[in-house]
């Protein structure tokens, strides 16, 4: 009974953490506070993955999103020149026009949530790593390799763009 209650409490804590910090991300006027609030959203989602017994996915969420993408976002904010003087739009314009895509997207999400057939499965405690590894190297080998090629190309492209051009120095 207590165990069940504790599990529920942790689950709801994670839900509130995820949604609450996501609201802060959207509504906070200071861009860096938004970025740091995103940390709690990402951690909350990782916690929810653990509830879905997706251990590998949860760790990947932490590694890729917190360790990689969030750090990149924060670096981006840090390195933005004249961060303090920049006027970041803080008002909401064109409320009625914005309502259209919001309602549209909301409707689509609502429709999908309603029409999808949800399969309730009993949570497995079995590790997922082995199956994931096998599937990545058999069934999903081609998408996996295509994705890694794409990332490699993006990496080389980024280095090419960031490098100072020769002709700039010659001029």
Closer to another protein by CB, 109 or 137: give it. Answer: 137
The nearest distance, CB 129 to another protein, in angstroms, is 6
Matching residue, tokens 């969420």 = 61
| Contacting residue, 24, 25, 31, 70, with another protein by CB under 8 A | 70
Neighbours of 115 (CB within 10 A): 7
Is residue 58 a contact partner of residue 74, using CB atoms and an 8 Å limit?
no
The nearest distance, CB 99 to another protein, in angstroms, is 33
Closer to another protein by CB, 64 or 149: give it. Answer: 64
Is residue 95 a contact partner of residue 22, using CB atoms and an 8 Å limit?
no
Closer to another protein by CB, 90 or 171: give it. Answer: 90
Quick one: tokens of 43? 């951690």
Name residues contacting another protein, limited to 99-158 (CB under 8 A). Answer: 127, 129
Closer to another protein by CB, 26 or 125: give it. Answer: 125
> Does residue 31 interact with another protein by CB under 8 A?
no
> Does residue 162 interact with another protein by CB under 8 A?
no
> Does residue 36 interact with another protein by CB under 8 A?
yes
Closer to another protein by CB, 78 or 110: give it. Answer: 78
Name residues contacting another protein, limited to 3-22 (CB under 8 A). Answer: 3, 6
What contacts 131, CB < 8 A, 6 or more positions away? Answer: none
Q: How does DSSP assign 71-123, residue by residue?
A: HHHHHHHHHSTTTTT-----S---HHHHHHHHHHHHHHHHHHHHHS-PPP-PP
Is residue 54 a contact partner of residue 125, using CB atoms and an 8 Å limit?
no
Looking at 11-19, 67-75, 144-152, 159-167, which segment touches another protein (CB under 8 A)? 67-75
């Amino acid at each position: 009974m207590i165990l069940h209650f504790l599990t529920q409490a942790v689950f709801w804590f994670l839900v509130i953490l995820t949604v609450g910090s996501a609201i802060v991300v959207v509504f906070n006027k200071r861009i860096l506070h938004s970025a740091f609030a995103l940390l709690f959203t990402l951690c909350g989602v990782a916690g929810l993955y653990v509830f879905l017994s997706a251990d590998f996915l949860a760790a990947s969420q932490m590694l890729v999103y917190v360790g990689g993408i969030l750090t990149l976002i924060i670096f981006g904010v840090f390195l933005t020149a004249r961060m303090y003087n920049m006027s970041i739009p803080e008002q909401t314009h064109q409320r009625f026009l914005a309502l259209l895509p919001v309602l549209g997207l909301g409707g689509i999400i609502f429709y999908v949530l309603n029409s999808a057939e949800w399969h309730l499965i009993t949570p497995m405690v079995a590790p997922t790593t082995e199956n994931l590894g096998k599937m990545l190297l058999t069934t999903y080998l081609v998408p996996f390799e295509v994705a890694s090629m794409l990332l490699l190309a993006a990496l080389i492209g980024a280095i090419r763009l960031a490098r100072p051009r020769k002709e700039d120095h010659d001029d």
